[in-house]
Each structure stands twice: as C-alpha cells, then as structure tokens.
C-alpha cells in the first residue's frame, strides 16, 4: 500500500498525457545553467558558496509562500459551492488518461490533483533546500554549480505546474462564452 501522501503524486503521473514534456521544459534551462556555471569563466573572487547560500535562502522564503498559496487554492476549491464548481464535477476530462480501474477523472479532480501535486513537489523541494544548507558545510565549489542547476530544474517545473493550475482556476471561476 502506497503512503497516502504520495497517492496524489502517483495518480498525477498515471493520469497525465505528455508528462515528459513538462520535464523537458524544466530540464533544458537547468542544463543551460549547468553549462554556463561549469564552462564560463567568472570574475575573480566570486565565492560560489556565498552565492549558493543566498540563492537557497531566497528560494526557501519563496517556496514557503507558494506552499501557502497552493494550500489556500485547495481550501477555496474544496469549500466553494457555486455553479462553476458543480459543472467541473460533472464534466469528464478529455486531457487525462483514466485511472487503472477505468475511472475517468472529472475536471474538478484534475484541478485538485494538479494543485495537490504542486504542494507535494514544493514540500519535497523545500526539504531539498534545507538539505542544501547543510551540504554547504561539506561540498566543494563544483558541487554548488550542479546544485544550482538542480534548483533551476525544480523552479521551472514548479512554476510550470503552478501556472497551469492558476490558469485552470481562472477558467473555473470566470465564465467565458465560447
């Protein structure tokens, strides 16, 4: 039996089409940053340890704010009772694969799973950032460069899925005539 916390992530991976594209979109900038950090000469006296520490500290604050924002969206969704939410619950998604048991997700479930997945990735990334603070005590300058590239991957991936969720929220609460 998989842990309940990870069930949302597993369902997200099982039901999304072209999920690989979201990872490619995040990997390309991360590889570019990695290339620049490892191949371009920087001015003398640049202390990557200090740069990395500042980079991580800013991200910890930003990730904490994004976690709060995402949980607020989940609260709004779950507690909202309006015609748009009811319509989402009644409309099956054509953009997602059915679950293993054949259950087709409705648009409400898709939106909720997107936001829940975002929260899980944010929490995992926050844990990674906290570990990075302690890694600073033990690793060399070259490792900072790779860790920065990994951070860029997470940032791009998180922003991509968060913007997707925000767009879905927008379409949920504002009526548009087609």
Q: Does residue 131 form part of some domain?
A: yes
Does 33 fall in a domain? no
Number of domains in the chain: 1
Using an 8 Å Cβ cutoff, are 76 and 173 in contact? Answer: no
User: Considering the domain boundaries, does residue 39 fall inside one?
Assistant: no
Of these ranges, 15-19, 75-79, 144-148, 165-169, the one predicted with the greatest mean pLDDT is: 144-148
The pTM of the full predicted model, rounded to 2 decimals, is 0.84
Q: Per residue in 12-63, pLDDT tens? A: 778 887 888 888 999 999 999 989 888 877 777 777 788 888 999 999 999 9
pLDDT tens readout for residues 70-88: 898 888 888 878 787 888 8
Residue range of the domain that includes 140 = 4-12+47-173
Q: Is residue 56 domain-resident?
A: yes
Mean pLDDT: which of 103-107, 119-123, 168-172, 173-177 is highest? 119-123
pLDDT confidence of residue 28: 94
**74 in a domain, yes or no?**
yes
Does some domain include residue 34? no
Q: CB–CB of 85/172 below 8 Å?
A: yes
Q: Is residue 41 part of a domain?
A: no
Q: Which residue has the tokens 């920065």?
A: 148
How far, in Å, CA of 52 to CA of 29, rounded?
Answer: 18
Is residue 178 domain-resident?
no
pLDDT (average), residues 62-72: 91
């Amino acid at each position: 039996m998989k842990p309940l916390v990870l069930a949302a992530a597993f369902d997200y991976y099982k039901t999304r089409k072209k999920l690989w594209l979201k990872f490619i979109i995040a990997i390309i900038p991360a590889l570019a940053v990695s290339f620049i950090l490892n191949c371009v000469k920087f001015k003398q006296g640049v202390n990557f340890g200090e740069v990395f520490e500042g980079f991580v500290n800013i991200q910890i604050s930003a990730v904490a704010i994004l976690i709060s924002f995402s949980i607020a969206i989940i609260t709004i969704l779950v507690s909202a009772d309006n015609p748009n939410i009811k319509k989402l619950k009644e409309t099956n998604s054509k953009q997602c694969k059915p679950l293993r048991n054949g259950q087709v997700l409705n648009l409400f479930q898709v939106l909720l799973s997107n936001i829940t997945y975002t929260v899980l990735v944010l929490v995992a990334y926050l844990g990674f950032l906290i570990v990075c603070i302690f890694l600073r005590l033990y690793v060399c300058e070259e490792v900072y460069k790779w860790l920065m590239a990994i951070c860029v991957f997470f940032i791009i991936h998180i922003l991509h899925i968060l913007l997707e969720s925000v767009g879905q929220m927008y379409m949920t609460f504002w009526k548009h005539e087609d």
